[in-house]
């Protein structure tokens, strides 16, 4: 259950970070409020996941997958460029997250 909540927190983290770039290009206060709302939801989900997972494990998975997700989202939504070496390190990040999950105590 806590891993599922953490997965939702990762998705929310990705949406939050991408919404920052979107809100920066928009001129309305309603769009600017979206990253603020997502920030509260994001932190709440991470805190909830940490009730049943070690803090270091939850945070490592959250930040690692969040970073990779934001890079991929930036490529898809904003045309950001990713080089071969950067893609390699993204893969290493995912491997590290999988290892963290496989060998987690909870």
Domain-by-domain residue ranges, the chain?
2-102
Mean of all residue pLDDT scores within the chain: 92
Distance, CA of 23 to CA of 18 (rounded, Å): 9
Which has the closest alpha carbon to 49: 9, 104, 106?
A: 9
pLDDT at residue 25, rounded to an integer: 82
Residue-level pLDDT at 106: 57
Torsion of CA 85, 86, 92, 96, to 10 degrees: 160
pLDDT in tens, 15-36: 999 999 888 888 788 888 999 9
Per-residue confidence (pLDDT) for residue 27, from 0 to 100? 76
3-state secondary structure of 51: coil
Sign for the pseudo-dihedral over CA of 10, 67, 40, 47: positive
| 6 to 12, 29, 31, 73, 85: CA distances (angstroms) | 10, 29, 25, 19, 28
Which segments in the chain show pLDDT lower than 50? none
């Amino acid at each position: 259950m806590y891993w599922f909540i953490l997965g939702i927190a990762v998705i929310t983290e990705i949406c939050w970070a991408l919404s920052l770039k979107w809100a920066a290009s928009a001129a309305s206060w309603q769009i600017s409020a979206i990253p603020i709302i997502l920030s509260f939801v994001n932190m709440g989900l991470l805190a909830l996941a940490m009730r049943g997972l070690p803090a270091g494990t939850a945070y490592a998975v959250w930040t690692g997958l969040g970073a990779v997700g934001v890079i991929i989202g930036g490529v898809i939504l904003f045309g950001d460029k990713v080089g071969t070496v950067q893609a390699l390190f993204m893969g290493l990040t995912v491997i590290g997250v999988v290892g963290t999950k496989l060998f987690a105590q909870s």
